Each structure stands twice: as structure tokens, then as C-alpha cells.
Structure 1
Amino acid sequence: MRRYRRNAMSGRTRKLAIGGVALAIAGGAFAISTGVSSAGENCVGLDQALRQNLQFIAGQRANPDALSDARIQNRQAVVDLINQRRQVAGCTADVAGEVPGAAAPAAPAKPAKPAKPANPPKTTTPAKPPATTAPANNAGTGAGEVVCKGSTVTLSGEGGAPFASSGTFPLGTTLKVTNLDNNKSITVKVETTSGSCVLLNNAAFEQVREPGKFLIRRAVIERVG
């Protein structure tokens, strides 16, 4: 009888010990998972990354082409991931409200097209002369083949010395990007890939951007090497 009671107590003690270890392991795993998910997250960096991707989407909606829908879908997936990370990190800034057209769906952007044929063609046609006067200020001087006509240019968010990323040209291609709104230009090499014709990293974009703007709507892109 004593032996049975001792074995029963021993079995119960063993189960409690195993259960305690399991709880400890589960608790540790939860602590590690929550800790890692928020470790190193910085709202400033996450907000900047979100802002850049929203600006890219807004630019594609404003000046769509045959690949715009695919690019927007890719960037929207990135936006969703960043928003999840911002929620975990407790970021509260209204980044979408800072980017004109970023929060608007793609559908409202389409009605703007029918408005152009009505009368604006006569007003938009005179707006094109800056592209012809630009060569006087070394903007699009014909140094190379003009490519990706009508494309907008934004930044990729990558650091380092000036370079470009592209989904159209192979690595090592030399491109000249000119901002017709301020006649500033920069010549860079394609060093990484992206889903756009041309994206400039932070250092390159800073040299041709207008203050406070994260998108070059009137750009000339030339392949010079």
C-alpha cells in the first residue's frame, strides 16, 4: 500500500514538473516572439518607408501605364506589411494623410482622364514647351537615348552613394535622370533591381528633387551607357 502511494505521488510530481517545464518553454517562446517582432523597430524609419511606398503608388495612379497595376499591387503588399509592423511598434502618425492621393482608391483617379479631352488639350499643349526649352539649361540635351517616356521618378529609400534601381534595364546600365521642374539632372548606374523603370536611392534623389517633394512628375530619363 505504501509502495503504491509513493508511486502515485511520484507520478503526480513528475507530471507537475513536466507541465511546469512546458509552461516555461511556452512562456519563453511567447516572450521571444513578441520581443523579436518589435525589437529594433523605429517609428521614424517605418513611417519614412511607408511614405515612400505611398508616394510611389500615388505617382503610378497619377501617371498610369501598362505596368502600373502590377507595380501598385506589389507596393500595396509592402504597405500592408509596413502597417502591420507599425501597429506592433505603436506608431500613430497619419502617414497616408501626408501623401496627396495615397489614400484615394485607383478608381477616382480614372475620371480625370475624360476631363482632359474636353478642353484641357488646348491648355495642356502649351504646357509642353518647357520640355523644348529645357535643353538650354542642360535638361535632356540628347546625350543619350530617351527611354521610359512619361514615367515618374521617386526614391527607393536605399542609402549609400548615388545609384539607381530598375526593372527595365540590366545592372551596370548608366542612366541620366533630369527633373524638368528645376532643370537638375544626375547620371547614375543601375545597381539594384525594382519594379519600376527607374528609382533613385536617397543620395541621388536628393540632388534632383524639389524641396518637400518625393516624386518627380516631369522627368526625362536617358540611357547614356
Structure 2
Amino acid sequence: MKVQRKHMLAAGVAVMAAGALAVSTGLGFADSTPTAQSVCPGSITFSAEGGAPAATSNQFPVGTRLRVTNLDNARTAEVTVVGPSGSCVLLNSAAMDLVREPGKNVIRRNVVERLGGVAVPPRQPGQVADRPGVASPPAVRPVDGSACQGAITFFEEAAAPAATSDRFPVGTRLRVTNLDNNRSTTVTVTGPSGSCVLLNSAAMEQIREPGKNLVRNNTVELLR
């Protein structure tokens, strides 16, 4: 009889422990539900492009619809890819204003979701109408041998000229040339980002034209 009572007591303790674990999980003591899987790793920044909220991408074709969420303030922007760039997702000014925190030009904690369906992207200012015999000019001149394709932009950082990248490891040296003014900067990759090459403020100042936050015609060389 004593042996049975010991077994019953032990079973009761186990049931109580299991119940306590279930209650604690329900109250949020266990790990919270994970956020959606992001289709673009790394930080998100923006270009100086005007117009309605939109984005450019080196991964998704024109017309792809994306939802970008800033995890620091839970603000979201739904955008359509309107052209190529050097980033997985590069927001324009209007889209960035929907999600960024005041004074911040980079969204480090984010989730990018691909939405179903393909939208027709809005026509950008200056774009030639699509009619027989008239071709729209390319946004970026193709450059043979460039290590990165698409436009290049920057993020705010008070440091010596440097870059981040989703392709090249830390320590890689790159030479970035603005083909519109033939100005170059040599930078070292200091960390990851969502772009093939994302310059910091000091590096961008060395090559950009006054008032422009985007270098469309460029070449990126991998230095040995």
C-alpha cells in the first residue's frame, strides 16, 4: 500500500509540472511565435527616386509585389518592383517614409514578404511610352566585367569610406567607379547587407554627383 501511495504521489507531481509548463507557455514565458520568413536578408535602404511607393530589385522581376515590415516600429509598406538595382530590395523615397523611424536611413531589423500576383508597375517620370517601334531607354548601361549589376546607393555611417555586401566576405576590397563623372572610390567590405555593394556616406561622397543619392551608371571591380 505504501508503495502504491508513493507511485500515485510521483504521478501527481508530474501532472502538476506539466500543467505549470503549459500555463507558462500560454502566458508567453516560452518562445514567441517566429516572424514570417524574409525573402531578402540584411539591411534595407532607399534611393532618391520620387513617385508613389515602389522598389527596385536584383532578385525579383518587374511587377513583383513585396511587403516590407520594419520590426522596430511594426510599420509596413506594400510596393511593386519597377526596375533593377543592386539590392534585393531598394525602396524609393515614398516607400521608405512609410516604414522608417525619424532620422534613420537604414532599416536593419526587417522582414520582406513576396505577395501573390504580379502588378503592372507605375510608369516612371520620363519613361518613353510603350508603343511599336519605340523602345524605353535602359535605366542602367550594362557594364562588361562589373562585379555588381544595377544602381548603387548608400547608408548613413560616420566612418572612413567602406561598404557592406550580400556577396563578398568581410575584408574584400572593391573599386567603385561612377561612369557619369569617372570618380572612383576604393572600399573594404566591413559587414553584410542586402545589396551586392552598399556604400557608406564617406564612400558615396567620393563618387556621387551633387544632389544625387544613386549612382546608376557604374562599374564595380574586385581587387586582388
- What TM-score results when the alignment is normalised by the length of structure 1? 0.47
Q: Identify the structure with the greater helix proportion.
A: 1
- What TM-score results when the alignment is normalised by the length of structure 2? 0.47
Which has the larger Rg?
A: 1
